[in-house]
Amino acid sequence: MKIRKGFISNSSSSSFVITSKEELNEDNLLENSGIKESFIFYDLFKDVIQSICSNAKELKTEEDFYKYYGKYDSLQKLIEYYDDGDLEKAVKNFTEKNHHLYVGGFASDSDGLEAGLCEVRFNVDKEDFLFLQSGGY
């Protein structure tokens, strides 16, 4: 029997992809998410939006996309590997509609808000804006 003496982590992570006709910023994300100042939890939502924007990295070329996702040398292979229609839509927005493409993620072993974002599903699907989140606990 082996006994582990070091730190054991039960952390989780969640990743997201955003495509947008406009450059990503907090106002753009708030507007496209449908979050209004009249909402009782507006300040919390605004903090979530700030966290998403600060974790988002823009990928400007297909090569950036391959580097970010690792072992894939074509977008089609990446889509086939993940077997994900949503990811395919994001790729088409990027390649065919020339939308901005952002990727990022959250870790459950980070601060409270970021850890909470690993659990919450926050997806938006509009003509000129797409936010997809996957992974989590």
pLDDT one-digit tens code per residue, 4-52: 444 445 556 777 888 999 999 999 988 998 888 898 988 988 888 888 8
Compute the distance between CA of residue 69 and CA of residue 66 in angstroms, rounded to an integer. 5
Compute the distance between CA of residue 88 and CA of residue 7 in angstroms, rounded to an integer. 38
Q: Is the pLDDT of residue 137 over 50?
A: no
Q: What is the pLDDT of residue 136?
A: 52
Q: List own/partner pairs for 43-47 with CB under 8 A and 24 or more apart.
A: 47/113
User: Is residue 135 a contact partner of residue 106, using CB atoms and an 8 Å limit?
Assistant: no
Place of tokens 């599903």: 121
Q: What is the pLDDT of residues 45-72, one digit of tens each?
A: 888 888 889 989 998 987 787 777 776 6
Q: What is the pLDDT of residue 119?
A: 67
Q: What is the pLDDT of residues 96-111, one digit of tens each?
A: 888 998 988 877 776 6
